[in-house]
Amino acid sequence: MIEELIRRTAAEDDDAIEELCEIADADPRRLAPYQGLAPCAAGRRNRRPVRTNCTSVR
């Protein structure tokens, strides 16, 4: 489930971003095993940076 949310977040799916933010706010340790799975925004060319409203993940 989380891997699919990360893929959708990398594709800038606003619903997936919101859901991951809710998970990060409630229990950020659930996301720790997935660090590095999503592509870095700085590595993408000709695309706007990934935005996040998460309070726990920085």
Mean per-residue pLDDT, 42-56:
50
Q: How far is CA 48 from CA 22, 51, 53, in A?
A: 23, 9, 15
Domain-located, residue 31: yes
Q: Identify the domain containing residue 8 by its residue range.
A: 2-43
Q: Taking the complete model, does pTM exceed 0.85, yes or no? A: no
Average pLDDT rounded to a whole number, residues 35-43: 57
Asked whether residue 50 is assigned to any structural domain, the reply reads: no
* Residue 58: per-residue pLDDT: 46
Residues 50, 10 contacting (CB under 8 angstroms): yes
Q: Output the six-digit token pair for 32.
A: 């720790």
Q: Give domain status of residue 37, yes or no.
A: yes
At 5-29, the pLDDT tens digits run 988 988 889 999 999 999 999 998 9
Q: What's residue 38's pLDDT? A: 56
